[in-house]
Amino acid sequence: MTNYISNAPIWAIILFIPIFLYSIFFITRPIQQAALNTGISSAKSQNIQLGIFIFYLIYLVYVATLALKGLLDVDSLPPRTMVWGGLPLLVILFGWIGNTGLFKKILRSITLEALIKLHVFRVVGVFFILLYAYHLLPAKFAFFAGLGDIITALLAIPVARMAARQQPGWKIAVYAWNIFGIMDIVDLLIVAVMTGAGGNLREMAVFPFVWFPAFAPATILFLHTAVFRKMKG
């Protein structure tokens, strides 16, 4: 019987799951504060935070179910994980969430600094390099994904501070950082498609690392777009 669980060491899988879930909680915290800043009650702000977390949790369970049934572990172009996992979330975020009145209200309230600091969660990209170390991902894909995420996450802190203090050149820094973060995801998607069938990307189609392609590209692109929208005022 085929196993659709990662071949990574069990300690890595056990470590990854709570860290990944916490990264989603990490994203919701400044959103709750922004909701409070708009005048929304504390109870409703907490419900918004909880609602976002539960939405993502349900989505991750959906993707995990597909992966554990082996429905994503198929050599195809484009990869099924992108089509069945990442694409629906992209449509939900850009086609619905980003156009709601509540989102626009929170976006006006959240500080640019907080919006940039959200990307610190991308340090979780270190797991791409860990999978490479165990010969579970090809070097090109692992280092594209891992280093791009880590660099974006580490730069988020000084760039956010520059924006908060409006230091000389802060707008250029924010735009440069934001474009870099977007291009990191776009380049990674291109590499994934080019690696394609037989390219040893099976870890991105089995549990739990299937959560990376299902959650990260759509969410990260959405958050970067929110930064542009915030900059435009």
Query: What does the pLDDT look like over 181-232, one tens digit per residue?
Result: 999 999 888 887 777 545 588 999 999 999 999 999 999 999 999 999 999 8
* 8 A C-beta contact, residue 64 and residue 71: no
Give, in order, the Cα–Cα distances in Å from 207 to each of 6, 212, 225.
6, 10, 29
Q: What is the pLDDT of residue 140?
A: 87
Percent of the chain with pLDDT over 70: 97
Question: Using CA of residue 157, residue 159, residue 160, residue 162, what is the dihedral sign?
Answer: positive
pLDDT on residue 199: 58
Per residue in 141-188, pLDDT (tens digit) is: 999 899 999 999 999 999 999 999 999 999 999 999 999 999 999 988
Contact (Cβ atoms closer than 8 angstroms) between residue 161 and residue 113 = yes
Mean pLDDT in residue range 135-141: 92
Checking if the pLDDT of 1 tops 60, the result is: no
pTM, rounded to two decimals: 0.94
Nearest to 76 by CA among 199, 191, 213: 199
Phi, psi (5° rounding) for residue 140? -60, -45
Residue 187 tokens, joined: 């380049």
Average pLDDT over every residue of 84-91: 94
* Residues 171, 165: Cα–Cα separation, whole Å: 11
